[in-house]
Amino acid sequence: MIVEFISRAILLSIPLLYGATGEILTEKSGHLNLGIPGIMYGGAIGGVIGAFLYENACGNAAENMNPILTILIPLLTSILFSVLMGLIYSFMTVTLRANQNVTGLALTTFGIGLGNFFGGSLVKLVQSDLPSIALTKTSKIFKAELPFAKDLGWFGEIFLSHDFLAYAAIAIALIATFILNRTRVGLNLRAVGENPATADAAGINVTAYKYIATCIGSAVAGLGGLQYVMAYADGVWSNNAFGDRGWMAIALVIFALWKPSMAILGAFLFGALCNANNYVQGLGTETQELFKMLPYVVTLIVLIITSLRKKREHQPPESLGLPYFREER
């Protein structure tokens, strides 16, 4: 049971990790993107649309489907959707200097609407005779695990039994850590987030950094939505099923103190906390509801402690949430 619990916690943690890594990249450029929950919905539905159209084009028969295309098409459509939404956000906040909170919230409304709308109407829009969206064939290919994972007992189930997007999430978080801390690009990006005026004076293209960080961050976050649909939900789309995971990913950013590598551990902890209510013995349903509060309470405590201790390396980027206009000093 412990093995199952851990394995399940890892599965639950992956969308959060994607969302948090994406949000960290964006926040490092000084932009608090509250549109992430919407972008994750956007990424999810983008992937679903791609996969749905491909399955339809293959006549809904598994033998016609090319495994590589089955993975590539949803991946690309998912990234396309989330990058487009990231572009909207960065155009609004970087070029038009709109308020980041309001833009983000509007984008979240828009993205969740987009996801639920296409999720609920795609079947009708393409005039398919399927009753609802169930991409089980695509999901099966997405979830392909290593052939020998089953033979390795608990070790196999915990570490080797996941879908490739789960490993990709951890890889992306590690790469992001490396880029942020060990490369010039990362140094420049952090400079932009801390003090754009100084970065600008040093010859860094502030606008380009902000745009690229936001768009890559959105693409990463969108993959979280895709992973949720394909791996956790077995390719079955149901409206609002993704829930508030996007907000939890934003909470995770604080918990991880703006470090993607910490987010890996944090995501696992959040996954475990979200899941714990099913495994603690003797809980009534009502106490389970209180248990679901845990991730938020833990985040609040971390938020308070970081603001109390004022350690410099644990603070949010200095100019987080502020627009930058070169001529206004």
Residue 34 vs 223, nearer CB to another protein = 34
Residue 160 structure tokens = 């080797």
Smallest distance, Å, CB 127 to another protein?
A: 12
| Encoded amino acid at 321, one letter | G
Q: String of b and e for 119-142 (b: at least 16 CB within 10 Å)?
A: beebbeeeeeeeeebbbebbbbbb
Residue 278 structure tokens = 């099913």
Q: Whole-angstrom Cα distance, residue 65 to residue 308?
A: 55
Residue 122 vs 158, nearer CB to another protein = 122
Smallest distance, Å, CB 113 to another protein?
A: 3
Q: Are 323 and 89 in contact, with CB atoms under 8 Å apart?
A: no
Smallest distance, Å, CB 188 to another protein?
A: 21
Smallest distance, Å, CB 86 to another protein?
A: 14
Residue 112 structure tokens = 């969740």
Residue 117 vs 178, nearer CB to another protein = 117
134 φ, ψ (degrees, to nearest 5): -135, 100
Q: Whole-angstrom Cα distance, residue 64 to residue 76?
A: 20
Residue 195 vs 277, nearer CB to another protein = 277
Smallest distance, Å, CB 315 to another protein?
A: 10
Smallest distance, Å, CB 321 to another protein?
A: 8
Smallest distance, Å, CB 108 to another protein?
A: 7
Q: For the chain, what's the residue count?
A: 329
Smallest distance, Å, CB 79 to another protein?
A: 21
Biggest alpha carbon–alpha carbon distance for the chain: 64
Residue 126 vs 171, nearer CB to another protein = 126
Q: Whole-angstrom Cα distance, residue 242 to residue 304?
A: 28
**What are the start-end ranges of the H helices in the chain?**
2-28, 36-57, 67-90, 100-125, 136-142, 153-155, 164-182, 184-194, 196-201, 206-227, 245-255, 260-276, 285-291, 294-309
Judged by DSSP in three states, 322 sits in coil
Residue 108 vs 161, nearer CB to another protein = 108
CA–CA distances in Å: residue 66 to residues 119, 207, 291: 24, 40, 43
Residue 151 vs 244, nearer CB to another protein = 244
DSSP for 212-260?
Answer: HHHHHHHHHHHHHHHHIIIIISTTB--TTTTTTHHHHHHHHHHHTTT-H
Residue 107 vs 219, nearer CB to another protein = 107
List residues binding another protein (CB under 8 A). 32, 34, 88, 91-92, 95-99, 101-103, 105-121, 124-125, 239, 244, 247, 250-251, 254, 285-287, 289-290, 292-293, 296-297, 299-300, 303-304, 307-308, 316, 321, 325, 327-328
Cα 156 off chain centre by: 25
Smallest distance, Å, CB 248 to another protein?
A: 8
Residue 195 vs 315, nearer CB to another protein = 315
